[in-house]
Structure 1
Amino acid sequence: MKTLYLDAFSGISGDMFIGALLDLGVDFDQFRAELAKLNVDGYQLHVERLSKSSIYGTRFDVQLTHEKDHGFIESHHDPHHEHHHQDAVRHLSDIAALIAASTLSEKIKQQSLAVFTEIAKAEAAVHHMPLEAVHFHEVGALDSIVDIVGCFVALDLLKVDEVRASELTDGSGFIHVAHGEMPVPVPAVMQMRIGTNIPIKQRTDIQTELITPTGMGLVKALVRQFGPIPEAQILLKSGYGFGKRDTGAFNALRVLLFDEKKSMQTVSSDQDSVLLIEANLDDEDGESLGFAMDLLLEAGAFDVFFTPIFMKKNRPAIKLSVLCAPAERDRFASMLMKHTRTIGVRYQRMQRVIMKRHFKTVETRFGPIRVKVASHGDLVKQMAEYDDCAKAAREYGTSLETVKQEVNRLLNS
């Protein structure tokens, strides 16, 4: 399971998001080919890898055939005026039709339209107008379509399962737009924050916008958890997407790609602490318990186990126990309350004595097999990784035990 963490110390925009994902390793040719499924023209993609403050990252830009105003504007109700401009603007319904007619995957279509809808609702509320009256200038719409759809294309290519984020940072003061001055955070961003737990802090030393409506729409659609950098996952890669504004500071979005497979971590310490979260369940069926266990393990729990217990009046019940990193308390507590019938959980921090471990690869007649090497003082244990053995057994049409015996023979020779 892959987790993408957005370190938004300098805000977020669509082009910063895409630049960071390209910097993370998304193949640009493959990205461009997927975007072509939109079946629209009038734009070119520009990618540049450069250095800022001696840190290399990627700047992404949608270069349009004709420059016009960008962003949402209100529609005029004069039918003659509307007819005069009908080729120069796109309403939300037009954008929805364009995305629906594309050959993109259904998942990307739905995700992209959800962001456009969030932004349009915010603009409609800010300008006190009906949703169907909100529209983009033609070229501005194209710019935003490519940015928003491109974000989901890149996430799909990276095979990201979950997106988390730090608190968002915005500037302060005012920015000048077609309608005059707007306070920062801009009204659409503030509108999208209503009713959410999205944390935003302001930097009073930066007098400009750092969070764009597109960036906020993406965060609202994607991020389900805000907090510090994950501490109990394997960091695979990091990337930087540079913003276009000169803020007087390091203007970039940093993204971190994690793998939650705890079993493949190298451990150099012989002790650590874990959190034990528990709930007593007396009204849960076996299938629901199994489903909850699978979700908790997939989310990165160290272990999940059931214990038969008897509660008051001798009612038989199950105690569900979850071991996780202490910093993950809120996430797993929320999962327990979401996926079981419990209305509360208890927890305690526990110390562990553990074996140090690292991994090595053994070349066998069934291909390379990874081996976990665990040690504590003079004690050493070597165990073949189940996933590798199972894969080899399937590929070579042999038994799992035969593969394990082959690995053990080579380890002991």
Structure 2
Amino acid sequence: MRTLYLDAFSGISGDMMIGVLLDLGVKIEDLKAELQKLHLTGYSLSAQKKPKNAIYGTDFDVVLDHGSKDTGFVEHHHDHHHGGARHLTEILTIIKNSDLSEKIKRQASGIFTEIGKAESQVHQVPLNEVHFHEVGALDSIVDIVGSCIALDLLHVDHIKCSTISDGSGFINVAHGQMPVPVPAVMQMRVGTSIPIKQRTDVHTELITPTGMGIIKVLVDSFGTISETEAVEKVGYGFGKRDTGGFNALRAMILDRSASRRTIATTHDQVAVLKANLDNQTGESLGYAAKRLFEAGALDVFLTPIQMKKGRPGQLLTVIASANQVTKFTQLILKNTATKGVRYQIVKRTIMQRKEIVLPTDYGDVHLKIAQFNGMVKATPEYDDVAHFAMQSGETFDYIQTRLQALIDTKIS
């Protein structure tokens, strides 16, 4: 499983987000091609690889043919149409009528809606009357939709974020001074547990409304990089503000499976967490299990049980690293209907494990090798078996049987 980890030590904005995704390998030509599906003109994209504080990263920018950059919310009165403004509903219609995938439409619309709701609350206007500067809205559309496109092009399964830093003090805008965090960002924090830390040494905005919208809609979890996640690649996306320090968004591609290919020990300890559930649908339980696996659980399973008054229920069991009890307790409480979680730390005996690659007539197959006291078990990776079956037109069972026979011959 590939995870994108955002290290937001200097906040986040739309251009920083796209910059770091380009730095991680997304091609600017692919981004441009996908953005053409919006059927919008009046802009071009700039992406420069350059050093900042002796560290190389990508400086991304949306260059407008006319006008200035995004000025955010614009006051609007009922008696006239503000010529330099565009309704939130107009922006959502542009996204809806585009040729983009439904996933990208849903994500981009969700981000714009979150920003619109925050501006509506802060400025006390109905949501359908929220306006953005017309040229600025173009800049925001490209930043927001472009971020969703770039993430899709990067092919990550999970997005995780650190505590996000913001500045302090005030910034000057069209209507006067505004406190940091800016009101729209602060409003988007309501009802969430998004971790934000204010830096008193930085006297400007670090988290923009666009950046906060991206975080709120797209990030799956918050925390640090766990011991089961191996860093594959690091990238930097530069910001435009002068913070007096290194203003960049750092991101890493993490591969959870890569760090677990070799297990040298035969004894360790794990946490076993349990919760009884009797009022959740199968779909929501499947979603909860998915989130737990994505967060690094070693195993997640459900056992049918009978509860009070003869009610059928499910026993959720999660096996995790012994030092992650608090993390998984919170995830279980958040994603299930239970009001309590039981846990214990248990000892276990495990087989030493490693992964090797074996050439075959079908192609290279990844093998999982497990050993203990002279016993050896070797099995082909499911994804390889499925790929070879699709490629050859044979059944999954046929390919697996042939590969297993070859493996047994090689291993013995």
Decide: shared fold, TM above 0.5. Answer: yes
> Residue 176 in 1 paired to residue 172 in 2?
yes
Partner Cα separation in structure 1 for residue 110 and residue 280 of structure 2: 34
Could you say what secondary structure the match of 1:323 adopts?
strand
- The letter for the 1-side match of 2:17 is F
Uncovered stretches (5+) of structure 2, i.e. residues with no partner: none
- The letter for the 2-side match of 1:220 is K
Tell me what 1:23 maps to: 23
Please report how far the alpha carbon of residue 56 of structure 1 lies from its aligned counterpart in structure 2 after TM superposition: 2.0
Tell me what 2:102 maps to: 106
Partner Cα separation in structure 2 for residue 284 and residue 118 of structure 1: 27
Tell me what 1:383 maps to: 378
User: Is residue 392–residue 403 contact of structure 1 (8 Å, CA) maintained in 2?
Assistant: no
Tell me what 2:274 maps to: 278
CA 1:405–1:254: 2 relative to 1, 3 Å: same
CA 1:166–1:77: 2 relative to 1, 3 Å: same
Match among 226, 231, 234 for residue 227 of structure 2: 231
Please report how far the alpha carbon of residue 238 of structure 1 lies from its aligned counterpart in structure 2 after TM superposition: 2.3
Tell me what 1:7 maps to: 7
Match among 89, 94, 113 for residue 90 of structure 2: 94
User: Is residue 74–residue 133 contact of structure 1 (8 Å, CA) maintained in 2?
Assistant: no
Tell me what 1:68 maps to: 68
Give aligned pairs, total: 407
User: Is residue 277–residue 316 contact of structure 2 (8 Å, CA) maintained in 1?
Assistant: yes
Tell me what 1:77 maps to: 77
Tell me what 1:151 maps to: 147
Tell me what 2:52 maps to: 52
Uncovered stretches (5+) of structure 1, i.e. residues with no partner: none
Could you say what secondary structure the match of 2:378 adopts?
strand
Partner Cα separation in structure 1 for residue 283 and residue 103 of structure 2: 28
Please report how far the alpha carbon of residue 94 of structure 1 lies from its aligned counterpart in structure 2 after TM superposition: 1.7
User: Is residue 5–residue 160 contact of structure 2 (8 Å, CA) maintained in 1?
Assistant: yes
Deviations 1:106-158 (A, max 9, x none): 22122212211221222222223333332121211110010000111111112
> Residue 246 in 1 paired to residue 242 in 2?
yes
- The letter for the 2-side match of 1:14 is G
When normalised by structure 1's length, the TM-score is 0.87
- The letter for the 1-side match of 2:221 is Q
User: Is residue 232–residue 325 contact of structure 1 (8 Å, CA) maintained in 2?
Assistant: no
User: Is residue 230–residue 259 contact of structure 2 (8 Å, CA) maintained in 1?
Assistant: no
Please report how far the alpha carbon of residue 12 of structure 1 lies from its aligned counterpart in structure 2 after TM superposition: 0.5
User: Is residue 234–residue 265 contact of structure 1 (8 Å, CA) maintained in 2?
Assistant: no
Could you say what secondary structure the match of 2:403 adopts?
helix
Could you say what secondary structure the match of 2:234 adopts?
strand
CA 1:146–1:11: 2 relative to 1, 3 Å: same
> Residue 165 in 1 paired to residue 148 in 2?
no
Partner Cα separation in structure 2 for residue 222 and residue 274 of structure 1: 30
> Residue 134 in 1 paired to residue 130 in 2?
yes
CA 1:126–1:319: 2 relative to 1, 3 Å: closer
Partner Cα separation in structure 2 for residue 284 and residue 175 of structure 1: 47
CA 1:207–1:310: 2 relative to 1, 3 Å: closer
CA 1:286–1:255: 2 relative to 1, 3 Å: closer
User: Is residue 185–residue 207 contact of structure 2 (8 Å, CA) maintained in 1?
Assistant: yes
Please report how far the alpha carbon of residue 98 of structure 1 lies from its aligned counterpart in structure 2 after TM superposition: 1.5
CA 1:390–1:117: 2 relative to 1, 3 Å: closer
CA 1:54–1:346: 2 relative to 1, 3 Å: same
Higher deviation after alignment, 124-133 or 2-11: 124-133
User: Is residue 292–residue 339 contact of structure 1 (8 Å, CA) maintained in 2?
Assistant: yes
User: Is residue 380–residue 404 contact of structure 2 (8 Å, CA) maintained in 1?
Assistant: no
User: Is residue 279–residue 346 contact of structure 1 (8 Å, CA) maintained in 2?
Assistant: yes
User: Is residue 277–residue 346 contact of structure 1 (8 Å, CA) maintained in 2?
Assistant: yes
The sequence identity of aligned pairs, in percent, is 52
User: Is residue 4–residue 164 contact of structure 1 (8 Å, CA) maintained in 2?
Assistant: yes
Partner Cα separation in structure 1 for residue 124 and residue 233 of structure 2: 44
Partner Cα separation in structure 1 for residue 259 and residue 376 of structure 2: 15
Please report how far the alpha carbon of residue 267 of structure 1 lies from its aligned counterpart in structure 2 after TM superposition: 2.8
Partner Cα separation in structure 1 for residue 387 and residue 219 of structure 2: 34
When normalised by structure 2's length, the TM-score is 0.87
